[in-house]
């Protein structure tokens, strides 16, 4: 426990792969964590580390802040707007921090509902996979009032290596998060096509990967995803194809509302659909990097 | 002049923006350079720095090596296969180093022709714009016999920060070079769509750029092209749209020969065609990053 | 009035451009029509021709059948599921005939809700523009129980030139209708690209149109849309771009639920988005046929 | 033999599936036909019907006209520009009628070469498959001088049901022919996606086909290709996938030269590449209509 930094009391709703790692970091930083999960057994490892169990949603909503980290819009809607949910339970001084990757439309709805109830709300979705969450190295994109963000910083500092304030509207953070996943999917598609091309020409993909990442294509995006595509290593899924498909769909939905044609987003969405329809539901979303090879008649099996 | 490294005598054919910078680095490293250019006045600055002028192509083809660095297939074909060209003039011990970005088909034709004439040939296209060439910081992708590559290394070390041997077939280097430009164009397209999306949502693109490049999207590809798209800074062209269009076309032609469908390559090729047809012939190829914004009805003028 | 055919009493909800023409045909065939429209003044021309005005939704729901012909999902949801809506007002023997172009999901919801209320429901969307509706020449695609369809046939015969029963599930009719609009949009896009190509080559588009439609490309789809694109005649809108965009979006949403990647549907959806974003909100949806020409730098103004 | 129509003497070079049917119609109409084929045995059935054999290309080039009907650019280049080819053998009064589907660039080259040699040349590519050729029901698109076209009309009337003069430039006819194949491929793709959608929803594709073609989607294009896709009947190939791929590539090449972005042409080209790469080299090109189903995970085998 770090005695020099201020500690907070925080509810945490949703302890899947991502949430568990994030809550661990909060505990490790000395914050008090009250965990709620629909399936409470999933909270056990956190309780073993010192977290308290919240029997009801409301029990997690009465401290300095409550973090929601759930799989999709439907889960957030149920937890927030459902009977005895976050909206009706939130303490006057408690901040709702929505860290889930959700639609811009739902972010707007949350913003309005909390404002109408004179409650404080901030959106703070994250970049990073479960291993990054466990290491406290997430990138956090925050949208909301600056003073609310400031109050939450001790929590963000425990979970992330960097927090960026993109604007006063929570929706901005959610849109930026979606756009980031679109950028990642685009790079995976590009790498998939490039590797199909060079593989069919008889060039070793590992040598190609080394060449790319030791010259112009440095940085974690090319390094991580290039490696997965070069090694055709698509399981276990760190971020499963249906989750990726959902995020690109939410990007396209936001783009449609804003009237922004995004042909590359359409292309990667079609790829994710194809991946799932052809049987890749349990693969990592980076397995779209295999589709160009398959369409080129390269018959290797994915790992 | 570096007295400890071996110096070579080398012909240099084609001193445009890229070639001039490269030849300068050769001179600076102490190599003897004999320059040929169709328009010989363009060679003057190099002659001022100590290069010799080759009145004819043949005069550049009799030393340790001759480098060709020309704009496109047509120029290379004219210089190599034309009357009194490189092929008929090359000394028995002279190595032809083709550093131009050319088609895989032409690379194959050069390989065959030189082999039939018992001449040594290596393909060594480069990644980097003119400023990178002037700084001697190119990345060089070499395809050819290892011993030939080894002989050429003092030249490559003068021009580049790194040289990677991708295989014994010259064509492999050319294909990899083309695939790299395809990857770059894909990232530009992705950034263009993402920035159109966030701009139409009212988010500041510079703030978005800072967020991207300070979190997950590090490395020169995102930093350089993200900056150009965020600032809508498309002139002067460091790599003009028609050159980019040509490279993606050559990628698609290679893909077609190999039967590799590349939908994203098709998309960026369509974008480059659109850019040129709408009047952007003199813009940098990264101006395709502006098309999504235009299609979204965002009416800003490019810089 | 046709004395030999059975006549029915039918409620009609939604008398926009399409609905008015359809209700006119019902009146002309001797059926009794009770019209409800949110803006009741729009029903005046029908009342002048012998229709009755339904002051409330419920007043249109107590006869042999009630037809809903509304602009989109939201309008149908409001009219059916709203307070004192169709669902709560429908007579035990009254059939709800949904002729609007709506989502498959809403069709399913209507099917369930009516089944739960032991009410009869059939989906019967139509192909045809307002002029075709006025002429009683619509094509009707029906999904539902055969006996219910049979009961409704006198109505369909008044409004359409042909009725096809695609299956017992209402959703099948809605999906087929959406797929039909996708086919039309695809042909428009193809014609737009082909005409951009030949126009930029200096070939007269009218001559080209005559050639196409007098040889292989006969039938109303090529004749109608080819003519619009050749003449660049995009207003007044018979079917406005936002309606087309909505239908292709619903097609893509159905495709996503079914996990069917449809890259061409994605392409025409992007085109419709572009058309609207560039200022074409009030143009006919066939104006996507102009985008390829614009992207090719052809500067003609649309009619 | 029709005694009332003027008969001509005509050389015929290239008697594959298409050429044989066309030459048969010429014979049936009473024209004198002198056949040349690289593999002369393929001409036997025509000789049995009264044609003469031309031992050399030149022997087919001395009558009223010579028709070339060959598989691709390479074959035409070899026959026309090769030693003792059409160009060097053509009689002063003999018209060269190029009926092959070739590139616009080659059409231009033929036009120039014949003009330079003061020879008469016309391009007259055709729409129709081999069965249509045998029936004399082709559609012929002619580009060239009106008087030359007029002279050739008795031949065209024997082979086709309609001849359209698109312009004085031969290239116009070739471009229009290519654009027509692009339109067909686009319709096939659209039908493929629509049928994948409805099939995955459990709707019978034959019923769907009947619905489409008995309502709005009439005409031979929808009837023929819709039937093939509904029945998944892709062999024997009436027009093999590699030929289709070649034509769309030539369309894209012409589009590139003219700077016309054609995203749908790119899409169908990618589809044809995929079809061939996945093993469909010997299938009819309409088998691209199967790819959407495969990408949707529908596992039916093609016929």
Other residues' Cβ atoms within 10 Å of the Cβ of residue A4: 5
C101-113 confidence digits (pLDDT tens):
999 999 999 999 9
Contact D166 C203 (CB under 8 A): yes
Radius of gyration of chain A (CA): 20
Cα C52 from Cα C43, distance rounded (Å): 9
Q: Using CB atoms, list chains with 3+ pairs below 8 Å to chain D.
A: A, B, C
Q: How far is B176 from chain A (nearest CA, A)?
A: 7
* Strand pairing class (D65-68; A120-123): unpaired
Indicate if the pLDDT at residue C44 is higher than 90. Answer: yes
Element (H, E) at C167: strand C160-167
Indicate if the pLDDT at residue A1 is higher than 90. Answer: no
Kindly tell me the burial class for residue C299, based on how many C-beta atoms sit within 10 Å of its own C-beta (0-12, 13-18, 19 or more): exposed
Cα C76 from Cα C104, distance rounded (Å): 13
pLDDT at D299: 76
Cα C61 from Cα C96, distance rounded (Å): 8
C-chain residues near B263 (CB < 8 A):
263
Candidates B223, B134, B239; CA nearest to B181 is: B239
Q: Which of D244, D259, D262, D271 to mutate to test the interface with B (most CBs of B within 10 A)?
A: D259
Candidates C225, C194, C220; CA nearest to C208 is: C194
A177 assigned to active site: yes
Contact D269 B266 (CB under 8 A): yes
pLDDT tens for chain D, 303 residues long, are: 445 678 999 999 999 999 999 999 999 999 999 999 988 899 999 999 999 999 999 999 999 999 999 999 999 999 999 999 999 999 999 999 999 999 999 999 999 999 999 999 999 999 999 999 999 999 999 999 999 999 999 999 999 999 999 999 999 999 999 999 999 999 999 999 999 999 999 999 999 999 999 999 999 999 999 999 999 999 999 899 999 999 999 999 999 999 999 999 999 999 999 999 999 999 999 999 999 999 999 975 443
Number of residues in chain C? 303
CB pairs under 8 A between A and D: 21
Indicate if the pLDDT at residue A303 is higher than 90. Answer: no
Across the interface, which of C278, C294, C296 has its CB nearest the CB of B297? C278
Contact C270 A262 (CB under 8 A): yes
* One-character DSSP codes across C234-272: --S-SSBHHHHHHHHHHHHHHHHHHT---HHHHHHHHHH
Cα D264 from Cα D248, distance rounded (Å): 10
Counting residues of chain A whose pLDDT is more than 70, the rounded percentage is 97
pLDDT at A4: 62
Contact B219 A217 (CB under 8 A): yes
Peptide bond into A236 cis (omega under 30): yes
pLDDT at D137: 97
Cα D111 from Cα D104, distance rounded (Å): 10
Other residues' Cβ atoms within 10 Å of the Cβ of residue D269: 26
Other residues' Cβ atoms within 10 Å of the Cβ of residue A82: 12
Residues of A at the D interface, defined by Cβ within 8 angstroms: 263, 273-274, 277-279, 294-297
Q: How confident is the model at residue A299 (pLDDT cuts 50, 70, 90)?
A: confident
C127-152 confidence digits (pLDDT tens):
999 999 999 999 999 999 999 999 99
A169 to chain B: closest CA residue:
B203
Cα B166 from Cα C73, distance rounded (Å): 57
Average pLDDT value over all residues in chain B = 95
Cα B57 from Cα B84, distance rounded (Å): 7
Q: Which two tokens stand for residue B207?
A: 């703030």
CB B81 within 8 A of CB B107: no
C257-272 confidence digits (pLDDT tens):
999 999 999 999 999 9
Query: In 3-state terms, chain B is what percent helix, strand and coil (to 5)?
Result: 55, 15, 30
Q: How confident is the model at residue C303 (pLDDT cuts 50, 70, 90)?
A: very low
CA B32-B38-B42 angle, 5° bins: 65
Q: Using CB atoms, list chains with 3+ pairs below 8 Å to chain B.
A: A, C, D
Contact B292 A260 (CB under 8 A): yes
A240-253 confidence digits (pLDDT tens):
999 999 999 999 99
| DSSP symbol at B240 | B
Alpha helices in B125-240 (DSSP H): 130-134, 146-159, 170-200, 205-214, 220-231
C205-248 confidence digits (pLDDT tens):
999 999 999 999 999 999 999 999 999 999 999 899 999 999 99
pLDDT at C2: 45
Across the interface, which of D259, D267, D270 has its CB nearest the CB of B277? D259
Residues of C at the A interface, defined by Cβ within 8 angstroms: 249, 255-256, 259-263, 266-267, 269-271, 273-274, 276-277
List the catalytic residue out of B5, B150, B177, B235.
B177
Contact A295 D277 (CB under 8 A): yes
pLDDT at B300: 59
Q: Which of A103, A251, A259 to mutate to test the interface with C (most CBs of C within 10 A)?
A: A259
Indicate if the pLDDT at residue A117 is higher than 70. Answer: yes
Cα C97 from Cα C92, distance rounded (Å): 14
Model pTM greater than 0.90? yes
Cα C189 from Cα C269, distance rounded (Å): 10
B-chain residues near D255 (CB < 8 A):
273
List the catalytic residue out of A162, A177, A200, A246.
A177
> How large is the average pLDDT for residues C10-18?
96
Q: Kindly report the backbone phi and psi dihedral angles of residue C35, in degrees, each rounded to the nearest multiple of 5, phi listed first.
A: -100, 135
Kindly tell me the burial class for residue B218, based on how many C-beta atoms sit within 10 Å of its own C-beta (0-12, 13-18, 19 or more): middle
Q: Which of C295, C296, C299, C300 to mutate to test the interface with B (most CBs of B within 10 A)?
A: C295
Contact B295 C279 (CB under 8 A): no
Radius of gyration of chain B (CA): 20
Contact B277 D269 (CB under 8 A): no
Non-local CB neighbours of C286 within 8 Å, separated by 6+ positions? C188, C225, C228, C229, C234, C239
> How large is the average pLDDT for residues A11-16?
96
Q: How far is A237 from chain C (nearest CA, A)?
A: 20
CB C91 within 8 A of CB C63: yes
Task: Identify the three-state secondary structure at position D160.
Answer: strand
CB B89 within 8 A of CB B166: no
Indicate if the pLDDT at residue B139 is higher than 50. Answer: yes
Q: Kindly report the backbone phi and psi dihedral angles of residue C63, in degrees, each rounded to the nearest multiple of 5, phi listed first.
A: -100, -155
C-chain residues near A270 (CB < 8 A):
261-263, 266
Contact C266 A262 (CB under 8 A): no
Other residues' Cβ atoms within 10 Å of the Cβ of residue B299: 8
CB D32 within 8 A of CB D177: no
C-chain residues near B277 (CB < 8 A):
295-297
User: Dmax of chain C from CA atoms?
Assistant: 65
C145: alpha, beta or left? (left if phi > 0; alpha if psi -120 to 50): beta
Candidates A249, A292, A32; CA nearest to A158 is: A32
D265 to chain B: closest CA residue:
B266
Contact A295 D279 (CB under 8 A): no
Contact B276 D255 (CB under 8 A): no
D96-120: b (≥16 Cβ within 10 Å) or e: bbbbbbbbbebbebbbebbeeeebb
> How large is the average pLDDT for residues B267-290?
97
A139-173: b (≥16 Cβ within 10 Å) or e: bbbbbbbeebbebbebbbbbbbebbbbbbebbbbb
CA D138-D143-D149 angle, 5° bins: 80
Indicate if the pLDDT at residue C70 is higher than 70. Answer: yes
Q: Using CB atoms, list chains with 3+ pairs below 8 Å to chain C.
A: A, B, D
Q: Where are the beta strands (DSSP E) in chain B?
A: 9-13, 32-36, 52-53, 65-68, 95-98, 120-123, 126-127, 138-143, 160-167
Counting Cα atoms < 13 Å in the Cβ hemisphere of C183 gives 30
A267: alpha, beta or left? (left if phi > 0; alpha if psi -120 to 50): alpha
A26-40 confidence digits (pLDDT tens):
999 999 999 999 888
pLDDT at B2: 45
Contact C274 B295 (CB under 8 A): yes
Contact C273 A256 (CB under 8 A): yes
CB A172 within 8 A of CB A201: no
Other residues' Cβ atoms within 10 Å of the Cβ of residue D175: 33
pLDDT at C4: 62
C275 to chain B: closest CA residue:
B295
> How large is the average pLDDT for residues B258-265?
98
A274 to chain D: closest CA residue:
D295
CA B278-B280-B283 angle, 5° bins: 165
Cα A177 from Cα A268, distance rounded (Å): 17
Across the interface, which of C211, C222, C259 has its CB nearest the CB of D297? C259
Counting residues of chain B whose pLDDT is more than 90, the rounded percentage is 94
Task: Identify the three-state secondary structure at position C293.
Answer: helix
Non-local CB neighbours of C150 within 8 Å, separated by 6+ positions? none
pLDDT at C301: 43
> How large is the average pLDDT for residues B3-17?
88
Average pLDDT value over all residues in chain C = 95
Q: How confident is the model at residue B40 (pLDDT cuts 50, 70, 90)?
A: confident
Task: Identify the three-state secondary structure at position A66.
Answer: strand
Cα C156 from Cα C22, distance rounded (Å): 10
B-chain residues near A104 (CB < 8 A):
201
Q: How far is CA C121 from CA A243, B141, C127, in A?
A: 36, 68, 20
Cα A129 from Cα A179, distance rounded (Å): 16
Q: Which two tokens stand for residue A64?
A: 């300095």
Contact A267 B265 (CB under 8 A): no
Cα A38 from Cα A53, distance rounded (Å): 11
CB A125 within 8 A of CB A96: no
Q: How far is CA C206 from CA C202, C226, D218, in A?
A: 12, 9, 22
Contact C277 B295 (CB under 8 A): yes
Across the interface, which of D164, D202, D219 has its CB nearest the CB of C211? D164
Q: Which of B247, B257, B259, B268 to mutate to test the interface with D (most CBs of D within 10 A)?
A: B259
Radius of gyration of chain C (CA): 20
> How large is the average pLDDT for residues A49-65?
96
Cα A210 from Cα A141, distance rounded (Å): 31
Domains in chain B (CATH in brackets) are 9-168 (3.40.50.720), 175-295 (1.10.1040.10)
List the catalytic residue out of C9, C42, C177, C200.
C177
Counting residues of chain C whose pLDDT is more than 70, the rounded percentage is 97
Other residues' Cβ atoms within 10 Å of the Cβ of residue A88: 14
A-chain residues near B182 (CB < 8 A):
190, 193-194
pLDDT at D6: 84
Non-local CB neighbours of B108 within 8 Å, separated by 6+ positions? B170, B171
ipTM: 0.95
D179 to chain C: closest CA residue:
C194
């Amino acid at each position: 426990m770090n005695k020099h930094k201020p500690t907070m009391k925080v509810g945490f709703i949703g302890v899947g792969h991502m949430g568990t790692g994030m809550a661990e970091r909060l505990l490790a930083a000395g914050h008090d964590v009250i965990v709620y999960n629909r399936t409470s057994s999933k909270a056990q490892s956190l309780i073993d580390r010192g977290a308290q169990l919240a029997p009801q949603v409301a029990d997690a909503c009465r401290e300095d802040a409550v973090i929601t980290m759930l799989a999709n819009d439907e889960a957030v809607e149920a937890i927030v707007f459902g009977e005895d949910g976050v909206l009706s339970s939130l303490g006057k001084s408690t901040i709702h921090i929505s860290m889930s990757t959700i639609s811009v439309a739902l972010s707007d709805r949350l913003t309005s509902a909390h404002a109408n109830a004179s409650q404080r709300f901030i959106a703070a979705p994250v970049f990073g996979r479960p291993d990054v969450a466990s290491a406290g190295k997430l990138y956090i994109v925050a949208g909301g009032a600056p003073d609310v963000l400031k109050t939450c910083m001790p929590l963000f500092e425990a979970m992330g290596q960097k927090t960026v304030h993109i604007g006063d509207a929570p929706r901005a953070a959610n849109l930026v998060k979606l756009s980031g996943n679109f950028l990642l999917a685009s790079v995976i598609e590009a790498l998939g096509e490039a590797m199909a091309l060079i593989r069919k020409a008889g060039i070793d993909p590992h040598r190609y990967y080394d060449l790319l990442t030791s010259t112009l294509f440095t940085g974690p995006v090319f390094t991580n995803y290039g490696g997965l595509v070069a090694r055709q290593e698509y399981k276990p899924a760190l971020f499963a194809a249906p989750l990726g498909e959902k995020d690109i769909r939410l990007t396209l939905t936001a783009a449609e509302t804003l009237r922004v044609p995004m042909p590359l987003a359409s292309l990667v969405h079609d790829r994710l659909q194809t991946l799932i329809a052809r049987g890749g539901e349990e693969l990592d979303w980076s397995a779209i990097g295999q589709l160009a090879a398959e369409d080129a008649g390269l018959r290797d099996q994915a790992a």
